[in-house]
Amino acid sequence: MDPISAPHFIIFPFMSRGHTIPLLYLGRLLRQRSVAVTIITTAGNSPCIRDSLRDTDIKIVELPFPKEINGVPPGVESTDKLPSMACFLPFANSTKLMQQDFEDTIQTLEQSATCIISDIIFGWTQKSAAKFGIPRLVFSGMGIFSTTMYQILYKNRPHAGTVSLDTPFLIPDFPKLKLTRNDFEPPFCEIEPTGEFADFMVEQSIALEKSDGLIVNGFYELESIYVDYWNQKFGPKAWCVGPLRVAKPQRTAAVEKPLHMQWLDGKFAEGEPVLYVSFGTQAKLSSEQLNEIAMGLENSQASCLWVLRSEGVKYLPGFEKKVKKRVMIVKEWVDQMEILNHKAVKGFLSHCGWNSVMESLTANVPILAFPMMAEQHLNARLLVEETGVGLRILPSNGSVRGFVETKEVEKMVKELMGGEKGKALRQKVEEIREAAFAATVDGGSSWQSLNFLIDDVCGKRFSQIYSLLTKKEELLARPLGQDILEINSK
């Protein structure tokens, strides 16, 4: 391929772990197809990105993060380090101040950009892309089911006549589907959402509509009717190119296995199935709620590996000691993919963040859904009601949002880990895992989708060029999905 016309994709991930990791993986997939890739980030985020891409020739360009922003503590350049979600809007909005630096960077690149892939939060990059006549593709980190439901709510307002947050309403064109306003995050659960956050998100949504494509970390077979619907009714075109996962963890022999992995080995040797418990990094649970969960886990008699921040552990005095035979609490950051792929892990009590969902499904682990924020309630509906790969823990007041009691946690954990329903789920999740795997190998839907996406933005038949490439064997030496196969040969 002529190096001058060779495609060059600019990837600009939002500064949060969950939004960045899948895009770094996408960068790798593009590199495998001979596409040059440059990642744009801030100085505070680049060391971590550099480290995770050190085995590649992907370029990284740093932009300064805006200074002295009201509501953002100095030095914080990632949402993972924000003291509370109240800082999210000032943080996200402040990125608008990066526009000049971003545009200067785009103009001075050695190889001109073919395409900009930027996070949905960076709606302003659509204007920059348009200025230079470069297509912009959007990444939101969400699945297409939840994205579609938010769009239907915004455009068609099926909830307009509901009297309460818990009144079920039908979704036009999907007669089997019933949602409530509580499935949507405030302020979007309001009939007339108002306020700065609502305004900000509407801005991003308008920029999305003006953009040239939507990259989805998912695979067609999982959400096909919603992918088709989105492409027919809304757009821009959704490209399902996932699951976009972390590269396979590589531990050198010199580094000792973490204690929690050794503990899982022990449980596997005893023939004892383990429930992995993690609610992600953003949501904060009240002390009362954590105690109900802890008691539920204890009463269920299940073996659990619980990733809990130290402030969470403080809410549970004496718990760790009391249950130490069956429950291991981990306070530090863990490699979630590694845990989910351990042979002992047979269930995942999860907040249903989309990355966690993808990781659990590709690791063949059914989900016990405990959604908390963002689009997680819709993800839970997809998993439990639409796909049949999960069970759900529900609040006691009959809503999808609210306080969850001990007995519900206990009952559902028992059901997932031992009950009849658990068995059916395991079979379904196996099917889904196989579909996910098939999507990412040569000729699969996600594999092809990425080739067609490159065709689409390059305005030429990349997939034909690709099939003629002399170095194709080299590119195919490590087919996409190969590591899924390796990990899952359990």
Ligand X SMILES: *[C@@H]1O[C@H](CO)[C@@H](O)[C@H](O)[C@H]1NC(C)=O
The residue ranges that bind ligand X (CB under 6 A) are: 90, 93, 96-97, 165-166, 182, 196, 395, 397-399, 401-402
Nearest distance, CB of residue 8 and ligand X, angstroms: 29
Strand order in the sheet with 136-139: 59-63, 36-42, 8-12, 115-119, 136-139, 213-216, 238-240
Task: Specify the residue, 184 or 230, whose C-beta has the smaller distance to ligand X.
Answer: 184
- Cβ neighbors of 386 (< 8 A, separation 6 or more) are 145
Burial of residue 268, with CB atoms counted within 10 A of its CB: 0-12 exposed, 13-18 middle, 19 or more buried: middle
- The CA distance from 390 to 182, in Å, is 20
Task: Specify the residue, 189 or 384, whose C-beta has the smaller distance to ligand X.
Answer: 189
Q: Render the burial of 232-267: b for 16+ CB within 10 Å, e for the rest.
A: eebebbbbbbbbbbbeeeeeeeeeeebebbebbeeb
Nearest distance, CB of residue 489 and ligand X, angstroms: 44
The H-or-E segment that residue 275 falls in is: strand 274-278
Nearest distance, CB of residue 179 and ligand X, angstroms: 14
- The CA distance from 360 to 192, in Å, is 35
Task: Specify the residue, 93 or 379, whose C-beta has the smaller distance to ligand X.
Answer: 93
Nearest distance, CB of residue 84 and ligand X, angstroms: 16
Nearest distance, CB of residue 212 and ligand X, angstroms: 25
Nearest distance, CB of residue 319 and ligand X, angstroms: 25
Task: Specify the residue, 196 or 311, whose C-beta has the smaller distance to ligand X.
Answer: 196
Nearest distance, CB of residue 89 and ligand X, angstroms: 6
Q: How many CA atoms lie within 13 A of 397 on its CB side?
A: 8
Nearest distance, CB of residue 377 and ligand X, angstroms: 11
Nearest distance, CB of residue 466 and ligand X, angstroms: 41
Ramachandran sector of residue 113 (left: φ over 0; alpha: ψ -120 to 50; beta: rest): beta
Task: Specify the residue, 44 or 395, whose C-beta has the smaller distance to ligand X.
Answer: 395
Task: Specify the residue, 51 or 68, whose C-beta has the smaller distance to ligand X.
Answer: 68
Q: Check the CA dihedral 116-119-122-124 and report its sign.
A: positive
Answer for the pair 240, 219: CB distance below 8 angstroms, yes or no.
yes
Task: Specify the residue, 398 or 443, whose C-beta has the smaller distance to ligand X.
Answer: 398
When CB distances to ligand X are compared, the closest residue is 402
- The CA distance from 117 to 106, in Å, is 12
- Cβ neighbors of 198 (< 8 A, separation 6 or more) are 187, 188
Nearest distance, CB of residue 104 and ligand X, angstroms: 18
Task: Specify the residue, 99 or 291, whose C-beta has the smaller distance to ligand X.
Answer: 99
Taking alpha carbons only, the member of 219, 170, 160 closest to residue 358 is 219
Q: Return phi, psi of residue 213, to 5°.
A: 175, 165
Answer for the pair 396, 404: CB distance below 8 angstroms, yes or no.
yes
DSSP notation for 11-47 = EE--SSHHHHHHHHHHHHHHHHTT-EEEEEEETTTHH
Nearest distance, CB of residue 94 and ligand X, angstroms: 7
- The CA distance from 490 to 488, in Å, is 5
Task: Specify the residue, 224 or 286, whose C-beta has the smaller distance to ligand X.
Answer: 286
Nearest distance, CB of residue 115 and ligand X, angstroms: 26
Task: Specify the residue, 392 or 401, whose C-beta has the smaller distance to ligand X.
Answer: 401
Q: Please list the alpha-helical segments (H only) found in 45-140.
A: 46-52, 88-94, 99-107, 124-132
- Cβ neighbors of 373 (< 8 A, separation 6 or more) are 85, 185, 282, 283, 351
Task: Specify the residue, 128 or 364, whose C-beta has the smaller distance to ligand X.
Answer: 128
Instruction: Write the DSSP symbol of residue 474.
Output: H
Task: Specify the residue, 94 or 482, whose C-beta has the smaller distance to ligand X.
Answer: 94
Task: Specify the residue, 3 or 398, whose C-beta has the smaller distance to ligand X.
Answer: 398
Q: Check the CA dihedral 335-338-344-346 and report its sign.
A: positive
- Cβ neighbors of 370 (< 8 A, separation 6 or more) are 279, 349, 350, 351, 352, 392, 393, 404
What is the token pair recorded at 322? 């009391």
Nearest distance, CB of residue 443 and ligand X, angstroms: 45
Ramachandran sector of residue 34 (left: φ over 0; alpha: ψ -120 to 50; beta: rest): left
